[in-house]
Amino acid sequence: MVFSLLVTDITEWDKAYPACGGREQSPINVDTWDSKFDPTLGPIQVSGYDVSPEESLKLKNNGHTVVLQLPDSLQINGGLANTYRAAQLHFHWGSHSSPGSEHTVNGQKFPGEIHVVHYSSNFQGLEEAVTQPGGLAVLAAFIEEGPDENEDYEHLLTHLENVKEAGQSTEIPGFDIRGLLPHQLDRYYRYNGSLTTPPCYQTVNWTIFNQTVLLSENQLAILEDTIHHDHDHVLQMNFREPQSLNGRLVLSSFD
């Protein structure tokens, strides 16, 4: 599925992609004091995330981010109204001197953000689900700098050099995708929003974990400095600014 971005200027997306001008857009700023505790929001439960090293996964630089294609055997089967199947995961980042998360919390931007994109098993596949209300569920976590190397992220970061040019892809051995998410999947914010890139469809059920993932300084530098959007230019700051809530409620699974 390729969406060639007809306009490079983010403020004109809604000319070519009307949904981008909608009232339920993403990302947003999460104001924790305005979020409402919802005791019915149970822990996120995933299955099939431990992909065998015998399986290979496609890693691609699509010029806008680095995407890891995921088999639909990875599922979310708890914490959401329906079962969702994995499609892909990708990242948003800034630069060494400037944070690049898409969502913010009480106005705080984080160095990076991982998005694990899933589609509802009520639909045949991603292409159909992406246009349907409730069609997508994205698990989002913030990436921060920590004191130690994150071994789970090494399974992915060691291959970025092979997809440094836009359009390049490579196959990497399967690994435990669960390790890319925070340890705690029971504390999260929940709201209804959209894709943060054209076509900006307002079909995404967002889960933003309260706990962050920690990468070493060197690992963050690899994420920030390896991926190029053309031969001479490193891809950085690939985030959309927070969009207005327009009255939407942000729920939290914890008090």
Residues at the site binding Zn ion, with contacts judged by CB under 5 A:
115
Binding site partner of 178, from ligand ETK, Zn ion, none, Cβ cut-off 5-8 A by kind: none
Residues that bind ligand ETK (CB under 6 A): 1-3, 62, 64-65, 67, 87-88, 90, 115, 117, 126, 130, 138, 195-197
Binding site partner of 19, from ligand ETK, Zn ion, none, Cβ cut-off 5-8 A by kind: none
Q: Which is nearer to ligand ETK, 69 or 77 (CB)?
A: 69
Binding site partner of 44, from ligand ETK, Zn ion, none, Cβ cut-off 5-8 A by kind: none
Least distance to ligand ETK from the beta carbon of 241, Å? Answer: 12
SS3 sequence of the chain? CCCCCCCCCHHHHHHHCHHHHCCCCCCCEECCCCCEECCCCCCCEEECCECCCCCEEEEEECCCCEEEECCCCCEEEECCCCCEEEEEEEEEECECCECCCCCEECCEECCEEEEEEEEECCCCCHHHHCCCCCCEEEEEEEEEECCCCCHHHHHHHCCHHHHCCCCCEEEEECCEHHHHCCCCCCCEEEEEECCCCCCCCCCEEEEEECCCEEECHHHHHHHHHCCEEECCEECCCCCCCCCCCCCCCCEECCC
Q: What are phi and psi of 229, to 5 degrees?
A: -100, -20
Least distance to ligand ETK from the beta carbon of 149, Å? Answer: 26
Least distance to ligand ETK from the beta carbon of 115, Å? Answer: 5
Least distance to ligand ETK from the beta carbon of 87, Å? Answer: 6
Which among 64, 90, 103, 233 is annotated as catalytic? Answer: 64
Q: Which is nearer to ligand ETK, 154 or 248 (CB)?
A: 248
Count CB neighbours of 105 within 10 A. 18
Q: Which is nearer to ligand ETK, 117 or 213 (CB)?
A: 117
Binding site partner of 126, from Zn ion, ligand ETK, none, Cβ cut-off 5-8 A by kind: ligand ETK
Among positive and negative, which fits the CA dihedral 28, 193, 39, 187?
negative
Least distance to ligand ETK from the beta carbon of 179, Å? Answer: 20
Q: Residue 4: is it exposed, middle or buried by C-beta count within 10 angstroms (0-12/13-18/19+)?
A: exposed
The yes-or-no answer on residue 64 being catalytic is yes
Q: Which is nearer to Zn ion, 226 or 238 (CB)?
A: 238
Q: Which is nearer to ligand ETK, 103 or 159 (CB)?
A: 103
Residue nearest to Zn ion (CB): 115
Binding site partner of 3, from ligand ETK, Zn ion, none, Cβ cut-off 5-8 A by kind: ligand ETK
Active site residues: 64
